[in-house]
Structure 1
């Protein structure tokens, strides 16, 4: 078995929701990711759109069962001692595919845990030769640290971060469409013009406040004061344009509380017809352009969709797609960033 120990940890993570270029919706999911040797395990298993079983919207009893399974205090859900490590973010069906692994006690030291034989699984039985993640693991974790990390989730579960957004702006039609889009992807949204009239307890349920471009500095200051009085940890979003996919992407970015160093997408700049992108691991990156013409009609352009290696990249964009007032949305499975095109 493996001789060296790997470190085990947990960290908040997010599957970014959004309104996609083709009009489809992608559901937002918050979950707890596994950190192995200081790096999200998900990043080591290729560019998967998946979440761990430790999702914030899982009912408490089911969440507890998932934790106890990882501690080997409950039976594995699959034959041959296999456990689901990551699954479909839209449902829990094995047919959609899941990353599974054998979790067992170390035969050399029963206090320690071993994760081995990682595989992509779509049915009850798995063919390791065909579907195994060769070169990943086995990982050997010290029992004390492993139990301590997972035990925190049982002893004092951290409250889920608020997934509600307060929308403030002058264009009611835009706000209504934005609220509908956010609710569709799993984020609560309400509209108001006066946050001072909102009860304190309700203000604490918001994770972000989004301001429209027409909101005055005085109005913004009053809203901030109302939230500061509650002591709520809220993110503020300055709406770039009355374009629903852009506003949703900005709000998704604001709601992302995962450590920056544990995200795939960490930087986006757009200037002079180029986009500058930085990713921390090899992953698929999609760039979408949104342009407002003189009549304030929105034009959408899919500009880039490819796998990039870790590092910084400069990507030339279609000049016609980014002329005038235009914006770029960069998306990976876990992160989304927005930048205006600067000239």
Structure 2
């Protein structure tokens, strides 16, 4: 077992939601990731689509139970002193698979060791299912407990999604209703209005994103921006790229992402001359979808890429029908979404 100490911390993270090309909905989840030696732990686990037990949409009681479990104040939920470190973002069971680890005291220290991929309550084979090269980690007990105990004494520490609401402003009622319904299906709050200027400042500060329909005039947008500025809101303002609901949901997800640029795996997306330019900072699976409107303003979606990409800039050819007319691209990893309009 390692005798070297690692630092322990907690950092906000996001699992991006969305409407996928097959019509399925992917849940948006905000959570706290574990930071080991100054780096988030989740990105080191083979591009895993998962969340930690410290998720924002857990009730305060359940959230506190998760914290106390990590503090070893309660018994381990799995055999062998094992705890779930990352689980399925769509459900709570082990059947979809989870990353578990032994968490134990060693004198005044806390040790995380033997990271495994587990799909039931039976302990898996370490050679076959172990995360080799991840851990063991030895943490100073005082620092470890201070980071987690801080969450128990903060009334809103579990609510990482305080700004996970979207205000939709526009005149196309049918489109906005569909967009609001889609956002709610992914776990985001969404309200529709024609005029937010007279709203109470406290209400405006609850929104993380303000979405303008394309028919909203510039002077109307400026008035809304001024109202949010006077309310001291840090909301992000976006204008819909096109009346395509999955594309607009992706725009909202992109606007909600407050991850520092130096920690993002998906860095840049552009589309020009029949190819997509995708830049990634570290190896990850990238899914690329094209959205377009035909001459009758009917939306079409086409999956154009789904595979891992190595760090660097990649030029991916687009099928001719993906770039016809008014077209757009959505690039997605487990934690990041980028959108871009295609330039002929």
TM-score bracket for this pair, using the shorter chain length: over 0.9
Residue 85 of structure 1 is matched in structure 2 by: 85
So what's the TM-score if we normalise by structure 1? 0.95
- Is 2:31 the partner of 1:31? yes
- Is 2:244 the partner of 1:247? no
- 1:152 Cα deviation after fit: 2.1
Shift in CA distance, 10/123, structure 1 to aligned 2, threshold 3 Å: same
Residue 153 of structure 1 is matched in structure 2 by: 151
- 1:221 Cα deviation after fit: 0.8
Is 1:12–1:257's contact at 8 Å kept on the other side of the alignment?
no
Distance 2:223 2:309 in 1: 43
- Is 2:72 the partner of 1:72? yes
Residue 125 of structure 1 is matched in structure 2 by: 122
State the Cα deviation string for residues 150-198 of structure 1 (Å, max 9, x = none).
2221222434322111101121111111011111111111111110233
Residue 300 of structure 1 is matched in structure 2 by: 301
- 1:93 Cα deviation after fit: 0.6
Residue 188 of structure 2 is matched in structure 1 by: 187
Distance 2:265 2:247 in 1: 20
Between 1:167-176 and 1:244-253, the stretch displaced more is 167-176
Distance 2:113 2:281 in 1: 25
Distance 2:223 2:67 in 1: 43
Tell me how large the CA RMSD over aligned residues is.
1.4
Residue 260 of structure 1 is matched in structure 2 by: 261
Distance 1:258 1:73 in 2: 31
- 1:111 Cα deviation after fit: 2.1
Residue 325 of structure 2 is matched in structure 1 by: 324
Query: Residues 33-48 of structure 1 correspond to what in structure 2 (within 5 A)?
Result: 33-48=33-48
Distance 1:312 1:2 in 2: 38
Residue 116 of structure 1 is matched in structure 2 by: 113
Residue 281 of structure 1 is matched in structure 2 by: 282
Distance 1:269 1:114 in 2: 44
Is 2:79–2:123's contact at 8 Å kept on the other side of the alignment?
no
5+ residue gaps, structure 2, are none
State the Cα deviation string for residues 303-323 of structure 1 (Å, max 9, x = none).
101111233222121122112
Shift in CA distance, 195/51, structure 1 to aligned 2, threshold 3 Å: same
Distance 1:77 1:280 in 2: 36
State the Cα deviation string for residues 286-335 of structure 1 (Å, max 9, x = none).
00001112221112111101111233222121122112211000001111
Equivalenced residue count is: 340
Shift in CA distance, 270/38, structure 1 to aligned 2, threshold 3 Å: farther
Is 1:168–1:209's contact at 8 Å kept on the other side of the alignment?
yes
Between 1:264-273 and 1:24-33, the stretch displaced more is 264-273
Residue 101 of structure 2 is matched in structure 1 by: 101
Is 1:69–1:75's contact at 8 Å kept on the other side of the alignment?
yes
So what's the TM-score if we normalise by structure 2? 0.95
SS of 1:233 mapped into structure 2: coil
Is 1:116–1:139's contact at 8 Å kept on the other side of the alignment?
yes
Distance 2:61 2:178 in 1: 35
- 1:224 Cα deviation after fit: 0.9
State the Cα deviation string for residues 74-107 of structure 1 (Å, max 9, x = none).
211111100000001111111121100001123x
Distance 1:310 1:292 in 2: 32
